[in-house]
Amino acid sequence: MITYNTITVAMPDIVEAEVSAWVRQIAKSYNKVVGDINYIFVDDETMLDINRRFIGHDYYTDHIGFDYSKDGALSGDIYISLDTVRTNSELFGVTFDQELRRIIIHGLLHLCGLRDKTDEERDHMQQAEDKALTQFAN
């Protein structure tokens, strides 16, 4: 099951059924099934607190994921800072909705096993994001 929740922010204007179908489609393209994925939308200060407490980093970020996958099913909590998504959308010259979709799928791709620590991994992740974004039925 895919759920959408908020802490300290209003729910973004997304059609949950469409996003969930897309997330399942992308997971399937990696031969994965969706277990319990919880998208949690927060503000920058909440994200900074999570980053400090659980990751040990003292900076803002657009997302943090906690992977609980087991028995072949993707499961996890994916926190997304709507403040940083908005800032990044302006920085990258895309709409808020486009950047939000990118981060939603970025979190899923991490659950699928993609990483982005090296330049090569980042390039592969961006290609995977771009491909997934073309598949969003919008």
One digit per residue, the tens of pLDDT, for the chain of length 138 reads 999 999 999 999 999 999 999 999 999 999 999 999 999 999 999 999 999 999 988 989 999 999 999 988 999 999 999 999 999 999 999 999 999 999 999 999 999 999 999 999 999 999 999 999 999 865
Q: How many domains does the chain have?
A: 1
**Tell me, what's the pLDDT at 137?**
65
The range of the structural domain enclosing residue 99 comes to 2-134
Helices (H), 1-138: 16-29, 44-50, 82-92, 96-111, 119-134
Residue 62, domain CATH: 3.40.390.30
Q: How many CB atoms lie within 10 A of CB 90?
A: 11
**Tell me, what's the pLDDT at 71?**
86
**Tell me, what's the pLDDT at 10?**
97
